[in-house]
A = this chain, B = another copy of it.
Amino acid sequence: MNTPLIEKTCGFADSQSVAAKLAALSHPARIEILRHLSASRSCCCREVVDHLDLAQSTVSQHLKILVDAGLVRYEPDRQRSRYQVDSDALADVSASLAELVTSCCSGR
């Protein structure tokens, strides 16, 4: 899991990390990219560009954001790039949000 133990009093530092993860997901283009990556096994940048109707540089930026957030794995392959969804990381984010939600709903 990603919850280290229990933070000082509550979980303040955690808010930061959860927010950062969610920020990477809070753009329609990036969600669309994730969907496309998971649909087609192999994915180079060009493929996403064709699918998405955005400039190549823009797509590259979004991919970088996803990679930096640890949600997508990157592997250079010849002159192409190989992008692949990191399912585990993605599941982690979902779990973090779920955890936040349940903790918010516990004292309902």
Contacts and interface: CB of A to CB of B under 8 A. Distances in A.
Given A26-B26, A105-B90, A31 B19 contact: yes
Nearest to A29: B15
Nearest to A22: B26
Contact of A90 (B16, B25, B101): B101
Contacts of A35: 10-11, 15, 100, 103-104
A32 B10 CA distance: 10
Contacts of A107: 38-39, 41
A105 B93 contact: no
Interface string A6-42: 0000111001101110110111111110110111010
A101 B105 contact: no
Interface string A78-89: 000000010100
